[in-house]
Amino acid sequence: MSKSLVKRLKTSIFGIGMTASIVIGTIMLLWRDIINNINYISKFGSIELGGMFLENFDFAVSHSTFSIFAPILAALPSAIMFCEDYNSGYIRNILVRKKKKEYIKETLICSTVSGGLAIFIPMFILMLYCLITGELNVQGASQFDTLLSGTIFDNIQYIWNGLFVAIVFLILAFLFGAVWSNFSLMVSSIKPNRYVSLVAPFSIYYFLHLIFYRMGDLVIFSPLTMLLPTVFFLPNMFYPFIYQIVILVGASVVFSILAKRRLKDV
């Protein structure tokens, strides 16, 4: 790993954009539950914590605005990096020291890692909270179906008392962040404007959800359901991985091609 890549990764991961994404994302996911608990304690003096932690996690994500604004949070840490380098002219200094191909590769790596972490970390914090305040998913503990019953996670929801599914959720969260960070990066290579790079992917993301949500069987292509795919209409557990990997690879390839063209005259 080159020194320049390490430096750029540190800038992306420990920068103000990442801090903003983590703080805002965590608040989005936890504020409702924490306020409800505070109100309950103020009225009754104590609170009974419980419920299967995976159900609590699913409920918290599904009833928050996090899944709606997640593409913006994913893009904040480093998706506008190309815009800033290009528009400021700093890209000329960078390309004196390294080849264009190497610069593009490093930019993609920074975007993938930081974008993934921007979504993974708030989801991980929520998962820890649910583990602390809830109960492990023990088969037979409840006579009723769980929120995961009938979904692609139905047959595996009790493996390691739910911890296996928790790991899958967190991997999908990282992948989701990487996808939309690189999608924003791709947009920045088309129109190197930081505001367009942040807003356009969010607009496309939400527009596609609204369209596919109203088209019957095509709802499986809604990108919004990929963050936490606990819905009943997905074909299998591999689908959200394949869906997002295809977009991730496609966005990365398009960015590489368009960035090379844009840097021809630099």
pLDDT at 40 over 70: no
Average pLDDT value for residue range 152-180: 89
Q: Which residue has the higher pLDDT, 253 or 94?
A: 253
pLDDT at 219 (0 to 100) = 85
Give residue-wise pLDDT tens across range 74-131: 999 887 888 887 777 777 887 778 888 898 898 999 999 999 999 999 999 999 988 8
| Stated pTM of the model | 0.90
pLDDT at 221: 87
At CA 26, angle to CA 201 and CA 135, rounded to 5?
120
User: 76-99 in b/e burial notation, b at 16+ Cβ within 10 A?
Assistant: bbbbbbbbebbeeeebeebeeeee
Burial of 198 (0-12, 13-18, 19+ CB in 10 A): buried
Q: Which residues pair with 52 in a beta bridge?
A: 135
pLDDT tens across 203-224, in order? Answer: 999 998 889 888 878 888 888 8
Which residues contact residue 168 at a Cβ distance below 8 angstroms, ignoring those fewer than 6 apart? Answer: 153, 156, 237
Token digits for 162? Answer: 């739910």
Report the sign of the C-alpha dihedral through residues 212, 215, 219, 221, in that order: negative
List the chain domain ranges: 3-262
- Count of residues making up the chain: 266
* Per-residue pLDDT reduced to its tens digit, 9-31: 888 888 898 999 999 999 999 98
Average pLDDT over residues 189-207: 88
